Amino acid sequence: MSIREVTPVSERAPRDRVVVTGMGVVAPPGNGLENFWTALLAGRSNARLIDRFDTTGLPCKFACQVDNFDATRWVDRKQARRLDPFVQFAIAAARMAVEDAGQDFAADFMEQCGVLIGSGIGGMKTYEDECAVILSQGPGRAPVPRGAMLSAKPRG
C-alpha cells in the first residue's frame, strides 16, 4: 500500500479544491516520503534516550529525534551552519516535495508554488543559543537576526 492510496478525496466544490502535487517529509520515523511511510506502516517507534542535550534534572529523558539528516544535501555548507535545524528541515521537505512533483526550481514555477509546513514551534535551537549568548555576554553580543530570506535557487 502506498501513501497515495490512502489519501482521502476532498468533497469540496471544484473551486475550493487544493491539489497536492508533491510531498516531502523530514520526521523522526524517517526522512523522505518512502522511508517515513515504510516506518509508519511497520509501526516502528523512534523514541529513545535524548542525545542532543543534557537531560540531567529533567523528568523525561526520551524523545523522538530526527536522525540521518544531512542539511548539505539541500543547502550549501555555509547556509547549513547559519540556519536553525527547523529551517533546514523545512527547506529539505519543500525541495523533496518539488522533486516528488516532478518539478524543478525554475523561476516561473516558483511563483505558482506554495508550501505548507506543520510545526509545533520551530527555531528553538537558535532561540536557546542566542539567549545563552545574551545571558553570558550581554545583549550587544547577540547577532543581528538574518531572517529567513533565502534564495529559491537550488544550491550548486
- Could you tell me the pTM of the whole model? 0.69
- Residue 50 CA to its chain's centroid (Å): 19
- C-beta of residue 24 within 8 angstroms of C-beta of residue 97: yes
Query: Residue-wise pLDDT tens for the chain (156 aa)?
Result: 565 655 555 555 556 666 777 899 999 999 999 999 999 999 988 899 999 889 999 999 999 999 999 999 999 999 998 898 988 999 999 889 888 988 766 666 667 777 777 777 778 888 888 888 889 988 887 766 554 444 444 555
3-class SS of residue 150: coil
For residue 150, what are the contacts with CB-CB under 8 A and spacing of at least 6? 75, 79, 91
Domains observed in the chain: 16-141 (3.40.47.10)
